[in-house]
Structure 1
């Protein structure tokens, strides 16, 4: 975000027609829109805020088919052919970005590097050997190694050659320009708020204008419209990122990720004065977690201990979704309605894969991995326990939040913090700003009614059920909610 300057696109202020309406201006939406216009379709892309500025704007830019701990699971649960299709679809996405950038002359800091999934615990080595073997059987250039260029020892690592790290925002902003030059239309600050399916379908926006289209693609991280059946099959989670300059000779020279220590992901990018920018991701947690500051401190301390950094230049958090069976949902939901979601922290390759797959489906062509990613697939053995656990966790969380609200008072709040508090028999979401003024909202997320929680570190309201985020004034920062938290004195919020 700091190293790119976006081009501004207009607000949708009149009704328009297109072959396809794409909702969401992240990597999946932009990739889909580009592939469709290349295939000869007229396309309108709607973005609630600015393109490539949501989750995609805050990714670390790992573009790799070496997703952690997926290939043995796929082979054992669904067969070797399924694992091969998954690997092929992901590696083709990696190669497609490189080829597209070369063909269009896009400069996006693309660097070919090996990618590693590693473990430090000796008792995980045999499992990782099996994962490496499954990845190799699936067709990836994979091997098991016992040493890396990390500045600390590992017990073992799955190494996959010829993967990519890049600047995704620079790539996508350039792709968006090519998209509009090819006849595509982008409308920013135009939130889709209603979908009326038909022939054509109608996508209404908060600007009052409508897009009429034969086909609609929902690519908004957590699907916002027309796909409520996926709610219980998607689990949101957040991760923190810290970035710090390091000397070029300290660059570990590859991409690395482990699920130990609650996830650690390491890679570098070009920086100023001949240095590299080290990016470290970790501390996975569900939205609504209250110890974000402690998690940030742990991640910074871990980075300083292993890489001897000085000051942290940037830090942020990002959100993603896990599916019940760890495979994304990409494809047709109903006639002429398509979705792309559930990227499980591997959104760069999944997003590009989604654009290519959805374009083939919309154009009436077959894809060898359409069934693998289909959002209507049925994997009961893999999904039932996860879905049941998700529902139970949400129910337990609701009870705890109601009880906790009874123990709090607005007087307890320090400046810059917020909480859900029961006052005069009603639950209220109260934020106290830096001047001590209280801002009172309904605490019920408009998407599904779950109680929001306040993240003091980032000063946002978060819904722990589906990951919606709201500013202190209640305005939507991240869906699937399409409306704000209303002020508490609005009689419509009484519960």
Structure 2
């Protein structure tokens, strides 16, 4: 599978969703009962639940609905999250593992009910989920944890994959679907129920109070009794959640395969930097096979090399695969591996957050929508404490993961500035490449486009000031500290940054 050939396209979900005109930004200041910041799976799920419960809701999306992280997922809806249950029984005990399994499983059942209720055509397929190991030494990690947590799990030694495994945990009754088709239908129903959606509306400020006040980059004020921050990585740092979240990018390569040869279930292993396999309907006797893996911290890897490595694995295990798409997705891992869903910080009375889904944002986002809507209405939820962002502090419970993350951030903040003192000159930068160079006492992120034209922006991320690095494969500047991403001209591609990189003169 040579995915660098001409004609390889981006996210299949964005390409094949029905075309929709962007919803315009608000024309002036507005007041609403609940403002939801973010139009991905967590934000739209929360907004839809609240509208259904009779609340007046507005969704504020910086770009397009379901076009960010959710639009680049592999779209597996499962409660079997690799090795999470072995981790949870050690860190949260059997009850914590049980609540996690219950809440994630209920999210899948809830989504199935929504698809049926609204008649959503989103290629919904029930499937089994497998976590497998090829290394016999890892089999014991798989064997019992998921079943003890209450999942209908069984241990097997054979799968439909075209290679042998040492063992696998199988959970039936899971699902896979087209995430953008699902969410666009949810947004349509939200509007029919009286909710409002505003796209290309970047929120840059929040003042908590009664009411709360949000400010957009266009100078519009949105007054709301309740605010939900569902921007994947929170764009407001008052809760210091950036100390408990680490960003991770992961690559996807996809290609068509004969329907008879395509696996119908979902398979993942933590080995080899993660390998995930699933397929989706494609037509003409074909299915689209999606292969995911090669996770890395943004701004720290040769992404072309990583794509080549994943493509080589595809060639080895699925010979004859015809390439058609490749893209990358970004996730945030919490330092204790459990999402942060609930009040934004200990003093919050009317602001909520949903983040840290660790690569499992579909079930997690649907769960978060139900949980936050219940919290807004004052209803008790059995698993609220498990996900509460105010839970016991990271040093006490999350220990080494917290310290390791902070050490990595410090290393990038200080160490990344040293190479720029003796690094490349602008004239050394090749077409379609970029580098951080020092010009006139400033660290500048300099990019040369395919025509040879140079452009420069500040290399300091506008979130907390770490230096960005260039991702040639995706033509983007990336912050290795907290995952903000920018276009070559400095425009924001992904938060938590809310301001673009400033222009610099060469």
Q: Please, which of 360, 367, 377 is the counterpart of residue 391 of structure 2?
A: 377
- The structural deviation recorded for 1:289 is 2.1
Aligned-residue CA RMSD (Å): 1.3
Residues 119-146 of structure 1: per-residue CA shift (max 9 Å, x gap): 00011112221xxx22112111101111
Aligned counterpart, 1:63: 77
Q: Does 1:12 align with 2:26?
A: yes
Aligned counterpart, 1:482: 498
Q: Is the 8 A contact 2:413 2:481 kept in 1?
A: no
Aligned counterpart, 2:257: 246
Aligned counterpart, 2:228: 217
Aligned counterpart, 1:458: 474
Could you say what secondary structure the match of 1:71 adopts?
Answer: helix
Aligned counterpart, 2:314: 303
Aligned counterpart, 1:123: 137
- The structural deviation recorded for 1:186 is 0.2
Aligned counterpart, 2:68: 54
Q: Please, which of 340, 359, 366 is the counterpart of residue 345 of structure 1?
A: 359
- The structural deviation recorded for 1:488 is 2.0
Aligned counterpart, 1:200: 211
TM-score, normalised via structure 2 length: 0.94
- The structural deviation recorded for 1:436 is 1.7
TM-score, normalised via structure 1 length: 0.96
Q: Is the 8 A contact 1:115 1:159 kept in 2?
A: yes
How do 1:84-103 and structure 2 match up within 5 A? 84-103=98-117
How do 1:79-158 and structure 2 match up within 5 A? 79-129=93-143, 133-158=144-169
- The structural deviation recorded for 1:13 is 1.4
- Alignment partners' CA distance in 1, 2:321 and 2:342: 45
Aligned counterpart, 2:404: 389
Q: Please, which of 187, 192, 216 is the counterpart of residue 176 of structure 1?
A: 187
Q: Does 1:413 align with 2:429?
A: yes
Q: Which moved more, 1:459-468 or 1:431-440?
A: 431-440
Inter-CA distance 423–268: structure 2 relative to 1 (3 Å threshold): same
- Alignment partners' CA distance in 2, 1:62 and 1:449: 35
Q: Is the 8 A contact 2:436 2:444 kept in 1?
A: yes
Aligned counterpart, 1:398: 413
Q: Does 1:256 align with 2:272?
A: no
Q: Please, which of 432, 445, 460 is the counterpart of residue 444 of structure 1?
A: 460
- The structural deviation recorded for 1:72 is 2.0
- Alignment partners' CA distance in 2, 1:391 and 1:310: 41
Residues 192-217 of structure 1: per-residue CA shift (max 9 Å, x gap): 01111111111111222221111100
Q: Please, which of 427, 443, 451 is the counterpart of residue 435 of structure 1?
A: 451
Q: Does 1:270 align with 2:284?
A: no
- Alignment partners' CA distance in 2, 1:177 and 1:109: 18
Q: Which moved more, 1:107-116 or 1:351-360?
A: 107-116
Residues 24-75 of structure 1: per-residue CA shift (max 9 Å, x gap): 0000000000000011110000000100100101111100000111112212
Q: Is the 8 A contact 2:203 2:215 kept in 1?
A: yes
Between the two proteins, the alignment pairs up a number of residues equal to: 487
How do 1:284-363 and structure 2 match up within 5 A? 284-333=295-344, 334-363=348-377
Q: Is the 8 A contact 2:130 2:168 kept in 1?
A: yes
Could you say what secondary structure the match of 1:2 adopts?
Answer: helix
- The structural deviation recorded for 1:226 is 5.1
- Alignment partners' CA distance in 2, 1:81 and 1:429: 49
Residues 360-401 of structure 1: per-residue CA shift (max 9 Å, x gap): 000111000110000011154441322211111122223332
- The structural deviation recorded for 1:424 is 3.4
- Alignment partners' CA distance in 2, 1:296 and 1:382: 36
Q: Is the 8 A contact 2:282 2:288 kept in 1?
A: yes
Aligned counterpart, 1:21: 35
Inter-CA distance 462–155: structure 2 relative to 1 (3 Å threshold): same
Aligned counterpart, 2:53: 39
Q: Is the 8 A contact 1:224 1:479 kept in 2?
A: yes
Aligned counterpart, 1:2: 15
- Alignment partners' CA distance in 2, 1:280 and 1:188: 31
- The structural deviation recorded for 1:310 is 3.5
* Segments ≥4 residues shifted beyond 6 Å: none
Task: In structure 2, list runs of 5 or more residues that go unmatched.
Answer: 1-13
- Alignment partners' CA distance in 2, 1:168 and 1:197: 32
Q: Is the 8 A contact 2:249 2:295 kept in 1?
A: yes
Q: Please, which of 147, 150, 162 is the counterpart of residue 173 of structure 2?
A: 162
